[in-house]
Amino acid sequence: MKTTNVKPATGKLGVMVVGLGAVTSTFMTGVLMARKGLAKPVGSMTQYDKIRVGEGSEKKYLKYNEIVPIADLNDIVFAAWDVYPANAYESAINAEVLKEKDINPVKEELEAIKPLKAAFDHNYAKRLDGDNVKQVKDRWDMTEQLREDIRNFKKENGIDRVVVLWAASTEVYVPVDEKVHGSLAALEAAMKADDKEHIAPSMCYAYAALAEGAPFIMGAPNTTVDIPAMWELSEKTGMPIAGKDFKTGQTLVKSGFAPIIGTRCLGLSGWFSTNILGNRDGLVLDEPANFRTKEVSKLSTLESILVPEEQPDLYTDYYHKVRINYYPPRNDNKEGWDNIDIFGWMGYPMQIKINFLCRDSILAAPLCLDLVLLSDLAARAGRHGIQRFLSFFLKSPMHDYTKGEVPVNHLFQQYVMLKNAIREMGGYPADEPID
């Protein structure tokens, strides 16, 4: 490992998750099983991927922890907030993602993870009716109670550093309002005025995390840290932020397959995507106001990869539609269909059909691990504000839209950004161009 300015990953890393449902119980179980040597963290870039460093005779391929100091799985301590009181073991059993035989070896550790009362507003997720909820006076009080939770968790468990990860349900869509979300002062004033319309509960979690010196990761498509007020707070506290929406199934396919069409200079007439999902996330997304939040996130991917202005003959006026349907029998086993209408030489039409039968939480769990470990790394490297190098893991990458920035959604360009950031933090030059 080269000499770097990254602080070492000493002490315990607290991982506080918002939402103790299918994704996070699967994430926790996998980490606890992996550190006992009873399971493999398949799908995790930080545990498996190798990056080239150096060139010529100096060239070698190293794992992330051989380039930068990444926290060890044995140093992770979990905590959670949830509207339902079930502990992590009960949640893992109820989610029916993992077989009981793959949960029982870490039963005692999971049972010890009892969710803290959630900061919750029923109007933001009307399909949820749990009663493990904080009693608050206003949004500012909600935030202060969350800050106290973080402080208590650190104190009671001897935690050195904390990362807060949102893996809870999608909230109703909150349009960005410059008067409220445009500055930190305006955001704080709205929280103190209990502006429930513009201040989502997720914003309270993000504010609490950043104010307590913890990186915050938004794993849902909520309007949360993708606003100037939160960028200002993250700069003020020196903390990294990442988001939004875990890139697991259909959008992962889209961000990887759309570059094939673009690179081959084929035309696109339309791309229709539909999904069925039966877990709690599917239930919440069955509410139109919540689906709108997800739709905005999923629609943004294609338009920044196949850009009409760059290739007007190929990508002008293509039709892009996304649908998610709640289908309880499938539970966590999500299925996505993509029908892609393309055209080639002399405008002759062709079709591509993709059917992805995936497991939502099995794909999301390694993303949770990577985002947590890399956000913690970024904090120790002194990186703050939007972490664009984490776009690889996210469906709708954050970007500074106030300056006309376009997000990078092209999977392979995102991978170059990730590798270059690891190289730089490890003391190596960023030697791959993004083009």
CATH of the domain at 409: 3.40.50.720
Q: What is the mean pLDDT of residues 331-340?
A: 91
The residue from 302, 336, 357 where one domain ends is 357
Q: Do 353 and 378 share a domain, yes or no?
A: no
CATH of the domain at 335: 3.30.360.10
Q: What six digits make up the tokens of 98?
A: 């993992």
Q: What is the mean pLDDT of residues 15-23?
A: 97
Q: Please give the pLDDT value at position 246.
A: 95
Q: Please give the pLDDT value at position 285.
A: 67
Q: What six digits make up the tokens of 16?
A: 């506080």
Q: Do 373 and 350 share a domain, yes or no?
A: no
Q: Do 175 and 140 share a domain, yes or no?
A: yes
Q: How confident is the model at residue 295 (pLDDT cuts 50, 70, 90)?
A: low
Sheet containing 116-117, strands listed edge to edge, beginning at the edge strand earlier in sequence: 116-117, 76-82, 12-18, 159-166, 216-218, 240-243, 385-386
pLDDT at 432 over 90: no
The residue from 334, 357, 380 where one domain ends is 357
pLDDT (tens digit per residue) in 205-254: 999 999 999 999 999 999 999 999 999 999 999 999 999 999 988 889 99
In this structure, is residue 3 part of a structural domain?
no
The tally of domains found in the chain comes to 2
In this structure, is residue 85 part of a structural domain?
yes
Q: Which residues pair with 30 in a beta bridge?
A: none
In this structure, is residue 384 part of a structural domain?
yes
In this structure, is residue 133 part of a structural domain?
yes
CA angle centred on 303, ends 405 and 424, rounded to 5°: 45
Q: Please give the pLDDT value at position 36.
A: 97
pLDDT at 55 over 90: no
Q: Do 19 and 62 share a domain, yes or no?
A: yes
pLDDT (tens digit per residue) in 390-409: 999 999 999 999 998 989 99
Q: Please give the pLDDT value at position 299.
A: 65
Q: Do 412 and 345 share a domain, yes or no?
A: no
Q: Please give the pLDDT value at position 293.
A: 63
Q: Please give the pLDDT value at position 298.
A: 59
Q: Do 217 and 260 share a domain, yes or no?
A: no
pLDDT at 364 over 90: yes
Q: Do 203 and 140 share a domain, yes or no?
A: yes
353 φ/ψ angles, rounded to the nearest 5 degrees:
-125, 130
Q: How far apart are CA 386 and CA 367, in angstroms?
A: 17
pLDDT (tens digit per residue) in 83-106: 999 999 999 999 999 999 999 999
Taking the alpha carbons at both ends of the chain, their separation in whole angstroms is 29
Residue type for 36, please?
K
Q: Do 223 and 261 share a domain, yes or no?
A: no
In this structure, is residue 4 part of a structural domain?
no
Reference 200, options 216, 187, 210, 182; nearest CA is: 187
Q: Do 192 and 116 share a domain, yes or no?
A: yes
Reference 293, options 284, 302, 280; nearest CA is: 284
pLDDT (tens digit per residue) in 112-144: 999 999 999 999 998 888 999 999 999 999 999
Q: Please give the pLDDT value at position 129.
A: 87
Q: Please give the pLDDT value at position 207.
A: 98
Query: What is the residue range of 124's domain?
Result: 12-246+361-425
In this structure, is residue 75 part of a structural domain?
yes
Q: Do 205 and 264 share a domain, yes or no?
A: no
Q: How confident is the model at residue 289 (pLDDT cuts 50, 70, 90)?
A: low
Q: Is residue 176 within a helix (H) or strand (E), and if so which, with residue range? A: none
pLDDT at 5 over 80: yes
175-176-180-183 Cα dihedral, nearest 10 degrees:
160
In this structure, is residue 254 part of a structural domain?
yes
In this structure, is residue 435 part of a structural domain?
no
The residue from 340, 357, 374 where one domain ends is 357
Q: How confident is the model at residue 279 (pLDDT cuts 50, 70, 90)?
A: confident
Q: How far apart are CA 191 and CA 201, in angstroms?
A: 10
Q: Do 303 and 393 share a domain, yes or no?
A: no
Least confident of 35-39, 124-128, 222-226, 284-288: 284-288
pLDDT (tens digit per residue) in 307-334: 999 999 999 999 999 988 888 998 888 8
Q: Do 240 and 254 share a domain, yes or no?
A: no
pLDDT at 284 over 80: no
pLDDT > 90: percent of the chain:
83
Q: Please give the pLDDT value at position 215.
A: 98
Q: Which residues contact 330 (CB under 8 A, 6 or more apart)?
A: 276, 277, 278
CA angle centred on 150, ends 23 and 198, rounded to 5°: 75
